Each structure stands twice: as C-alpha cells, then as structure tokens.
Chains A and B, each alone.
Chain A
Amino acid sequence: MKKILAFSRNRKPEPGFDSLVRPHLEYLYRLAYRFCGKREDAEDLVQDLLVKLYPRYDELVKVEKLRPWLVTSMYRMFVDGVRRQARSPLELINDEAAFYDTVAGNENEPDEILLSHQRLDLIQAAFTRLSDDHRSLLTLHDIEGYRLVELEKMLEVPIGTLKSRIHRARARMRELLVDGTL
C-alpha cells in the first residue's frame, strides 16, 4: 500500500532518465538553435523532445550511441514541426543594405576584428534566411561534422540526395551573401 501511495505521489524525475539525457542537453540546445534560429524555439524543441522521450526510457538505455540517436529524433521532430506550420517561403534578399543593418560595429575595434564580426553577422543573417531543410542539413554536416554515411543512416535519406541538398544549401548561402564580403 505504501508503495502504491508513494508511486502515485512520486513527481521526481526518473533518476535513470535524468542521468542518461542530461549530459546531452547543452549540445541538443546548440543544435536546436542552429535549426530554429531563435533561442525560445530552440528551447521549445528540446523540451518537446524530452517530453516525448521520457516514457521511452527503457528503449533509450538500450541505445548504443545515444547522442546521434537523440539528434535524429530531434531532427525529425523539427522537420515534422516545420511541415505542420507550413511556413511562408523565403524572400530572396536583393537589398544589400538590409544585410549591413544587421552588422554590429564597434568603432574602437581594430579593422580586422571588426571585419571578422561583420563577416560573421552577414553569414548569420544569410544562414537564418535559408530554408529549414537547408539550414538543418548544413548544421548537421558542415557545422557538426556528421559524415554523409552517418546522416544516411540517421535520416534514412540516400547519400546522393543528401549531397544534392547540401550543395544547394551552400549555393543558396552564396546567393544570399553579398559577393566579396568574405
């Protein structure tokens, strides 16, 4: 009886789930931020992932390499969320001034560092303007270093298709960036 009452009243986290997943949360957040482009959305994505995975603890403990598994789960959630929201199409940036508006300058900084900051801001601005698909694939491959053979297994997408999409993403970035700014 005490166990029944104790079980019903137990709101503490499953200790196993906490110790299993917590070491990956910071990484998942960073990845989610790359996907979503906004802190709040990134936190929501990680939150939704944990809510979904909590009842699947027995499955999680059997996973050999948990981080790629978590990444795959979160990527799929992100893609499903994007499909549900049906976001509006990207607008091609034709106005160079719009990019320079995003630059955070500091007159006291050496020109090299200022240029470096400007460059990063421009890249950041272009990156957020990519489609969700392009942004997430560039994140996984070009930034986080998941190899194509790994992504093929994780995302269940043929390597040829992955390559095409990643190459188109890079080309899109080049279109969005002002020539000569890198």
Chain B
Amino acid sequence: MKCADFTQGMDDFLDGELDGDLDAQRQMAMQAHLETCEACRRALGKAREFQQALGAMPIPEPSEGFTDRVMRVAVERNVGRHHRRGFAVGFGSAVAAGLALWLVVGLLPMQPGQQSDEGAVSEISIAVNEPREVTLAFHSVRALEGARITISLPENVALVGYPGRRTLEWQTNLAEGNNILRLPVVATGAEGGQLVAVLEHGNKTRTLKINLKAVKANLSEQSLFRLGVA
C-alpha cells in the first residue's frame, strides 16, 4: 500500500474504528503500511487526537432551571389542546361507569347531521331504561375561551352517571370548528321531555332544544345535533 492509498482510506479506517466494524482485510493492509511508514503513523495519530478533541470541546451549562422550565412551557403551550380534548373526553370519562352499552351504540353509523337554527326544536326517540348517546356538536368559527355550557334535562330523563341531576353547568374553552359533546341519556319514564343545551359567551347565547320522546326499548341509534356559534 502506498501513502496516497493510506491517506485516501484514512477516513474509512477511522469510521471502522469508531463503529467497531473494521474490514479485516483492509485493516491488515493499513496496519502493515503503518508499521513501515512514520509519516502515515503521524497523520493517523493527529486524526485520532482530533477525534478526541472534538469530544472534549466544552459545553456551557444550560441556564438555571432549564429542565423545569422546558417541561412547564411544553405543558402551557399545549393547554389549549388539553381544553379541546377535555371538552368531550373529560366529560366522557366522568360517565365511564355506564358506558358499556354507549360504546356499542357509538359504533353504529351516525345519522346525517341536522343543523339547528337558533331556538329550533329537534326530536329524537329514546328507549325507556335503555341509555342512548346524544351527540351535540358546538361549531365555532374561531377559538373561544371561557364559554359556559348549560344542559337542562326534563324530569323523566337522566344523564348516566349523574343521578338526580336536572342541570349541569360548566365553563370551558371551544376550539375552532366542531366541539363534540356526547351525552349518555336514558328515559326513566314513559313521558320523555325536552333537553335544552345553552351555550353562552360574552353577551351571546345560543340555545338548542331537543324533544326526547320515550319509546319502548329497541335498538338504539345515535343522532347528531349541531349548533352553530357565530
């Protein structure tokens, strides 16, 4: 092997050393050359020193509180997404105890969505003593913070997981687009009644009314009611 060949192959030789996968034949040839050539030995020595020096370059400590800060900021910048997920997911998990049947119902194809005008009344059937998922979609043209939602239930309709509650009210943030709320309701009597969903933000209010008609138990359907928010 000539010096030019060694020099040309020195990077591969170093790669092999670093990666631990030296080509045996090549290694033998280069080793043999090194034993007879001081200049190439010096060149290889310099290259190895250089590699070591790269690793020895100092790195300044990060600023104080770096790890706590980056973790905190990662959360804060994602809080908006948490709120969006919490709108539907948090509520769903709160009624997990009664969800076995809801999950089956939820797998069925959804009925075509019905867009409700302000104050218009829609009607769906729910079976007595058979929980059914009523899905509300609050559509907003932009993200809204601090919206207030109120769900009012008629006397003979219960929300699974909230026995005895006629009204549920909470504050949340809405994301741009559809914000889905799934209500697992069950008729406890033959009369049914009107479910009212009210969305308030600032001085604006939107109301959706759904007549829940109690029927004899049969296969449940899932209905989607969509309320638009300006």
Does B78 lie within 8 Å of A120, measured CB to CB? Answer: no
A50 near B: Cβ within 8 Å?
A: yes
Considering the chains assembled together, what is the distance between the CA atoms of A140 and B142 in angstroms? Answer: 43
Does B78 lie within 8 Å of A54, measured CB to CB? Answer: yes
Q: A122: nearest residue on chain B (CB-CB)?
A: B53
B109 near A: Cβ within 8 Å?
A: no
Contact pick for B62, options A4, A13, A42, A55, CB 8 Å: A42
Considering the chains assembled together, what is the distance between the CA atoms of A128 and B46 in angstroms? Answer: 20
Contact pick for B170, options A4, A46, A143, CB 8 Å: A4
Give the interface SS of chain B, mostly helix, strand, loop or mixed: helix
Q: B49: nearest residue on chain A (CB-CB)?
A: A182
Considering the chains assembled together, what is the distance between the CA atoms of A26 and B67 in angstroms? Answer: 8
* Complex interface: chain A residues within 8 A of B213 (CB): none
* Complex interface: chain B residues within 8 A of A50 (CB): 70-71, 73-74
* Complex interface: chain B residues within 8 A of A17 (CB): 74
Q: Name the distance in Å between B121's Cβ and chain A's nearest Cβ.
A: 26
A1 near B: Cβ within 8 Å?
A: yes
Does A147 lie within 8 Å of B20, measured CB to CB? Answer: yes
Considering the chains assembled together, what is the distance between the CA atoms of A166 and B57 in angstroms? Answer: 18
Interface size class of B (residues with CB under 8 A): 35 or more
Considering the chains assembled together, what is the distance between the CA atoms of A88 and B54 in angstroms? Answer: 24
Q: A149: nearest residue on chain B (CB-CB)?
A: B19
B11 near A: Cβ within 8 Å?
A: yes
Q: How many residues of A contact B (CB 8 A)?
A: 51
Within 8 A of A (CB), among B51-75: 51, 53-60, 62-63, 66-67, 70-75
Q: Name the distance in Å between B207's Cβ and chain A's nearest Cβ.
A: 20
Q: Name the distance in Å between B229's Cβ and chain A's nearest Cβ.
A: 18
**5 closest A-B pairs (Cβ-Cβ)?**
A7-B90, A50-B74, A7-B86, A3-B94, A167-B11
- Can you report 27 residue pairs joining A to B where beta carbons are below 8 Å apart? A2-B94, A3-B91, A4-B86, A4-B170, A5-B171, A7-B89, A8-B90, A8-B170, A11-B76, A25-B67, A25-B70, A26-B62, A26-B67, A39-B60, A42-B62, A47-B70, A51-B74, A54-B74, A55-B78, A123-B54, A123-B57, A124-B57, A127-B57, A138-B54, A142-B54, A166-B15, A170-B11
B-side interface residues toward A, CB under 8 Å?
11-12, 15, 18-21, 46-47, 49-51, 53-60, 62-63, 66-67, 70-79, 81-83, 86, 89-91, 93-94, 162, 168, 170-173
